Chains A and B, each alone.
Chain A
Amino acid sequence: MPRISKLLKMVLLVWIAVVIVAAFLYAPPDKALGQAGRVIIFHVPVAWVTVLAFMVSCVHSVLYLRRRRPQDDLKASSAASLGLVFAILATVTGSMFARITWGSFWNWDPRETSILILLLIYAAYHALRMAIEDEERRGRLSAVYAIVAAVTVPFLVFVVPRVYFSLHPDIITPTGGLDMGPRTLQVFLASLAGFTGLFAWLFQLTVRTGAMSLAAERRSAS
């Protein structure tokens, strides 16, 4: 492992450990939500990684259509897989939070409904990939699908929950600022950075192991 890469991973280890400590001991309880307000420090970065992963998938899909390199297709599908995992985590953790604030796990709130639609859209992406055997055709069709799917992401994540009345707490104020105290804001931003770093590492590993299993498949086929 090159020294710089090793160092970055050790930084990530310490960074997320510090975020965890700060989330419980440094950030004060929320004025309205009390101790449960700490959920934001973990739940929102997960939702952020979901959006980031789907955007990365879109970028690599565009690159695939331009260059037709299998690595781009692998990167696009790896990012979409990670996005789906993080979307599931955001939905599950969001519904746990809904239980203690709204009294039930699922309320068909615009935020819940839009993340569910997003989950279905990207589940369909993987279903599509599994349905096509020819590598080149699979890459081309799923790249087009991923680009179209990515267009829906900003609407479903940022627009729909703000257009319709939602019970979901919004951390973004009407003036564009973040509605949280200075200490919570520091920990929240550190958490966003930490989860972004974690995504970068997970993405690298998903691509690498994907390449390994592809190579193994080709070896056994020949």
Chain B
Amino acid sequence: MNAILVDQVTAVYVVLAVSSAIFGGIFAFVWRLSRRARLPAKARAMALGAQLLMWAAVAVLAVTGVVGSVDTVLILSLGALLADWLIVFSCLWRLDKASKA
């Protein structure tokens, strides 16, 4: 049997945490590949910084629980995840170009 043991706002945060973990994991893998492809250290550091800031923002949101309405948390989660995907995509794009050069 499955039952949700948390309120709906926390449930949205869990969805955000799960999806952010997925994009974060993919980012970590791509970041490792970019080291292998000898991408410039500055570009790699910037990408890592962006990803860490993104996670920090998500953690602050979830831990402080400043937002109490389900709809607002849905919008915030959506924004956070889109930013996460953009970070992953830009890393993939740079790596793609660097590995062809």
Residues of A within 8 A of B (CB): 1, 9, 12-13, 16-17, 20-21, 23-25, 29, 32-36, 38-39, 42-43, 46, 82, 85, 88-89, 92-93, 96-97, 99-103, 167, 169, 198, 201-202, 205-206, 208-210, 212-213
Contact = CB atoms under 8 A, between A and B. Distances in A.
Given A25-B74, A212-B37, A205 B95 contact: yes
Contacts of B5: 100-101, 103
B99 A36 contact: no
23 contacts: A16-B89, A20-B85, A24-B81, A33-B4, A33-B11, A34-B11, A35-B12, A36-B14, A39-B14, A89-B25, A96-B17, A97-B14, A97-B18, A100-B10, A100-B11, A201-B92, A202-B26, A205-B33, A205-B96, A205-B99, A209-B37, A209-B95, A212-B36
B99 A17 contact: no
Given A102-B2, A205-B96, A39 B81 contact: no
Contacts of A39: 14-15, 18-19
A138 B14 CA distance: 42
A212 B95 CA distance: 12
A13 B25 CA distance: 18
B8 A202 contact: no
A12 B99 CA distance: 19
A46 B89 CA distance: 17
